Chain A
């Protein structure tokens, strides 16, 4: 399975279909991002033969743009609506990747999304993992999608 292609296609399809926005993928890297500033992060755990996680990390200003588009109303502060919208975004991307993995014979169960936000925080939920971290740009900002599996 081409993980880069799976993440890229899933994210682009969701932005086109649900947000009427174009999300352009950038260069993927293997390293996980850990520290975030003024951001919102949504994490979906994946449990099965392997453990993994799908995370989306979005600067607050971009999260407001995305949530405003989801809800078709202007959202000006990071509140429960923003956390819910970014959590649902991560849920949809994780579901698409899960479908691709299922076709490869790997069954996973998805957790309900967890969302964290704040002025400065770190996320370190898989200590020994491998995967992909892929940046995306949209009109109004950038964000990062990560999919990593425990080694």
Chain B
């Protein structure tokens, strides 16, 4: 059975770019699901099982850090790997994300090769 990915980003443009980059990277997903913030992602995960999550950090309603916190507290989804895709490279906020279980990070702007390199070892 094919794998599923969930992309969390408040920017519709960025969700489209990430989707395109996944395909350009040769990562073949059965389904690419989208959510506009952390709360919307938790709603998706209440009804769907995914293999990996790509999440922005700086979002309205529920940001990526709070999403990680809520995900870690839910035994049904806590083991799904999350890769942060963010402009916040090298800052304290990424350290916080890692302490909350983030499996990796990709800095915007990114190339399909960087996506492949980071996700390849997690799938």
Contacts and interface: CB of A to CB of B under 8 A. Distances in A.
Interface in B60-81: 60
Interface in B81-100: 86-92
A22 B10 CA distance: 27
B interface secondary structure, majority: loop
Nearest to B86: A95
Contacts of B58: 91, 110, 112
B59 A14 contact: no
Contacts, number: 61
B89 to A, nearest CB: 6
Interface stretch (A29-37, A98-106, A120-128): A98-106
Interface residues of A, number: 26
Interface in A93-119: 94-96, 98-99, 102-103, 107, 110, 112
A92 B13 contact: no
Contacts of B11: 84-85, 87-88, 91
B118 interface: no
B110 interface: yes
Given A13-B109, A88-B11, A88-B13, A103 B87 contact: no
Interface of B: 10-14, 16-17, 20, 58-60, 86-92, 107-111
Interface of A: 13-14, 17-18, 67, 70-72, 80-81, 84-85, 87-88, 91-92, 94-96, 98-99, 102-103, 107, 110, 112
